[in-house]
Amino acid sequence: MVSLLDIIGPVMVGPSSSHTAGACRLGLLARGLIGGTPQSGVLQLHGSFARTGEGHGTDKALVGGLLGFRPDDERLRDALMIAEREGLDYKFEKTTIADAAHPNTVRISVELNGNKATMLGSSLGAGRILVQEIDGYPVEVTGNLHTIVLVAEDRKGSIARITGILASHDINIATLRLTRKERGGDAFMVIECDEEPDKAAGAELRALDWVRWTRRLDKVSGG
């Protein structure tokens, strides 16, 4: 759903909402997947990101996002320099991801202390973004709300248990999407929350022995 404040906004450092602000938000989401500034990042640029990214500061914005800078942070201008200082080893590659991929698409692979994540996302224009894939699972994450992604064994009652934990931490679920690659295989859940999930809620989810992996993605867009 499009919000007025997505259209009249974001307040951002120029020059391009799709190539600078949107790219920064994609970087921020990738950072959220591993819970901090990565030690290494590979950024595969597709389409217009690959062809005109440099002139738009897409490289600076993506890396700035990985560093935790938001789209209106004037440090974005110097993000590549700051990355070197902070020990973020980044590499850009130009690639063609798929014929159907949105023109402003990037695949980001990040690692922090052996903790790895890969994300495929696009910048849709006006700073709006859409993450289409996390670790090979198809998802739809807009960054408009706090989001929990979770991989669990496909077993009965798992949703009830997870929603129960979130409710006990006073977190209201806005949307919940469940996918799996095959029956009995891993189930992949994307849960958008109205409130920011606290650390304790995350720890409780992780403690479930049938939950293989869970990550919290920050709200990076919207008012």
- Binding residues for another protein, per CB under 8 A? 1-21, 47-48, 51-57, 72, 74, 76-77, 80, 102-104, 123-128, 194, 222-223
- Minimum CB separation of residue 65 from another protein in Å reads 15
In angstroms, what is the minimal distance from the CB of 222 to another protein?
Answer: 8
Pairwise CA distance, residues 49 & 122, whole Å: 10
- Cβ 217 to another protein shortest distance, Å: 19
CA distance 129 to 222: 11
Least CB distance from residue 29 to another protein, whole Å?
A: 18
Burial 145-181 (b: 16+ CB within 10 A, else e): bbbbbbbbebeeebeeebeebbeebebebeeeeeeee
Pick the closer one to another protein by CB: 13 or 43: 13
Q: What is the largest CA-CA distance in the chain?
A: 51
Identity of the residue, 77 or 169, whose beta carbon is nearer to another protein in the bound complex: 77
Q: How far is the CB of 171 from another protein (least distance, A)?
A: 15
4 or 160: whose CB is closer to another protein? Answer: 4
Nearer to another protein, 99 or 182 (CB): 99
Residue 37 Rama label (left phi>0; alpha psi -120 to 50; beta): beta
Measured from the CB atom, is 17 or 147 closer to another protein? 17
Neighbours of 15 (CB within 10 A): 11
Burial (CB count <10 Å: 0-12, 13-18, 19+), residue 35 = middle
How far apart are the C-alpha atoms of 98 and 105, rounded to whole Å?
A: 10
